[in-house]
Amino acid sequence: MIKLSNRLQQIADLVPKGAKLADIGSDHALLPSYLAERGMIAFAVAGEVNEGPFQAAVKQVREAGLTGRIEVRLGDGLSVLKPEEVDCITIAGMGGALIVSILTAGLDKLAGVRTLVLQPNVGEDTVRRWLLEHGWFLAKEHILEEDGKIYEVLTALRTSEADRANEELYEPRVLRPDLVVDKERLLQMGPYLLDQGSDVFIHKWMLELEKLERICKQLSQSAAEASRAKEDELRRFIRETEEVLSCLSKAKR
């Protein structure tokens, strides 16, 4: 039986039972193979743009005896799909900007898709913005740490109530009388993740602040007016983020 990493297991757990799945950027097709092996999906398309991973996926599916349940296709993004062929799409292990470009280029292939499970390595806010702008409801967020890396997994649903549900989801949070988390901040940090305030979430943002501090140090060495403005902007963001994290830490105690 196929065993998945914690990251892929989290994604697998979010795929609806009986789904017609497309796993885009499937690499070795481990995710669809795991789900098909356990009878958790009706069938799957494993899409891969590069020849090497494509051949690895073909081999994996063949050796697992799943050629009747999984089709491995070579192509760019959602171009491997036919309209209304699948009802769930997973895209994992790439940057948020690339995920968004794949979804945008394949908008016509999203007809009939009810669930998106997306795991951007960076640029999670870019994905949240795309979902909001294109009428998808962000239904769940998960965060986990594995092998020294932190991953966020976003689950979005196609629903007629998306606009109303998103409006409620991105309502500002009042953490204290003088500290309000607005919609922009929720898009950056994740509404569910901020509400949960887990140790992994706090750790992620502490690491982000360390990176921003290093950038500020570099900017401070420049005399350019644009550098001064950028440093001021980043330092304001750092201060506000530190206040948010402090409130969440106190709430946990």
**Per-residue pLDDT reduced to its tens digit, 145-201:** 999 999 999 999 999 999 999 999 999 999 999 999 999 999 999 999 999 999 999
Please return the burial class of 82, using the count of CB atoms within 10 Å of its CB with bins 0-12, 13-18 and 19+. exposed
Pairing, β 88-94 against β 19-24: parallel
Task: Region of 148 please: left (phi>0), alpha (psi -120 to 50) or beta.
Answer: left
Pairing, β 41-48 against β 70-74: parallel
DSSP strand E in the chain: where? 19-24, 41-48, 70-74, 88-94, 115-120, 137-146, 149-157, 173-176, 179-181
pLDDT at 212: 96
Task: Region of 99 please: left (phi>0), alpha (psi -120 to 50) or beta.
Answer: alpha
pLDDT at 1: 84
109-129 confidence digits (pLDDT tens): 999 999 999 999 999 999 999
Within 13 A of 218's CA, how many CA atoms are on the CB side?
A: 8
State how far the Cα of 124 lies from the Cα of 111, in Å rounded to an integer: 24
What mean pLDDT comes out for the span 27-40? 96
166-179 confidence digits (pLDDT tens): 999 999 999 999 99
What mean pLDDT comes out for the span 214-233? 93
What domains, with CATH codes, occur in the chain? Answer: 6-169 (3.40.50.150), 173-252 (1.10.287)
State how far the Cα of 3 lies from the Cα of 133, in Å rounded to an integer: 36
